[in-house]
Structure 1
Amino acid sequence: MSELEKNRRYNIASTIRKAISAQRTLGHQDIMCSAYLSKRGKKLNSIDRSPSKNFTRLMHQYIQSEGPDKLRVELRGNDDVLLWTKTFSFDVEPTPMVSTQTDFQGLGEAEVNDLLNQKIAELRRNEELEELRTDNEQLSHENDQLKKQIEEMEEVVEAKKKVEYYANILGLAFPGLAKMLSATPLGNTLGALAGIEDTSTSTEESEKTQRETIIELVSEFMQSLDDALLGQLYLVFIELSNNPSLIGGLLAHLTQQNEQAS
């Protein structure tokens, strides 16, 4: 195969890659590619709906084996919608005649071929660079989208953690609050939210002191813990029992943490 034919094949592949990249930029991701080859009007073996990542390599193989004089390429998206099409010709261009006069003092054939090959190599490098720039812009855009999705997911997870945290606090606090405020108008409402009966109907409960209610609330909370958390709480109680003055500092620390978290 001549150098001219190789260059033509390379330029066709480059044009198709740019078209695929442009369609992806427009939002078409699942692109299927087809190539219809013909010679003197007769249909040859063709490529039907190949994934875009394998298409140009496969197209080179078909062009080399079939030897077409025309090639029609189609890019299709979802629901087989035609996104882009172009017909390429492989007609051999006439070779320019070089003067053979003995008085010609210009460049020789070898020098002209060298300059031509250098120019073609330069064009290839420029096309490859442009293609890399396009791919880099596409990847950068996709990376920004992924970063945005990760940030949104992290915000959702953080919000969920806060909701679960305050839900646990409310679930533990409502029974004790309802009992402590049973003598107030708010007692019935808290009792309903906590899932306990109306405290106003229990004479024995109303006679309990606030101290007894708090102790009962702490006991209920301890019973709701699993063995691991209960063991950890026991160690905390040992430290507090050895130095009860730490209770005030611990409460202030927890209050500050909750305010910072909110």
Structure 2
Amino acid sequence: MEEDKNYINMIHGDLARASQVQSGMPENVGVMNIKTANRTILEASQKPTPRSLWDCFWYEGELSCLFADSNVGKSILAVQIADRIAQTDNVLYLDFELSEKQFQLRYTNEHGNLYSFPERLYRVSLDCDSLLDANFEEAIIGSIEQMALQTGGKSQMKEDKLRVLSGRTVLLFPDADGYSEWKQRAESMTYCKAIVSDLLEKHATPKQKADHIDIADWIIFQIQEGKLMSTANHLVEAEKILQQMIEKNPVLQKLIDELDLVLVDASHIASDDKSPP
């Protein structure tokens, strides 16, 4: 019944669009979209209801602006909001005002105790040296878009936001509940080649998917359960194996240098006697 209702609404939307065109009212003028209020409601009814991020004031996919007079606590409130959202979602807090020391002092009490934020809250600051040889506005906007893509921002998987990655191949690790959506969007991309990992789609439990875990959460879970050795220990062992292989065939080192290769794994390389093949 619900599916039939959706089809009916889609038909009504198409009829409203055709009626608008027939009446001479354009659908687009410059960067503006024009549609009737009724058509807006019909089309919006086909989309899922956004998830609440912070009480009833901010929902997923929305742009919210916080404004007030100077020195009344906007930055502190913004961090409090970020602190709350970071309990369940990754949050990038772009701080272009305070130095790291100022930030630390603000969140240290009179007894010298440091406040502990959720691990999902990341503070982003400017790399001033990198800005010297770049267009400031393009560098800022481009960096924000890349951060959103690389850290799981579903709303950023849009063609017009991927120009900065033009001609590149990007490996994406969506949250446990986002594979299907990201896969569908990636297949239609033209500016860059996007490869969407299905690691979490295949291995995350139903509860982990409901909790919207990301790749970092999953790796931590694997380490805690003893199913995955830590990266540091893994690479130490891998480096030993690689060194043994180079000693046996020095040409391998030249190949690594010429192609600028990076060691990431050594699983199943060594034989039973622990010597390289």
TM-score (norm 1): 0.18
TM-score by length of 2: 0.17
Structure with higher RCO (Cα < 8 A, 6+ apart): 1
Structure whose CA Rg is larger? 1
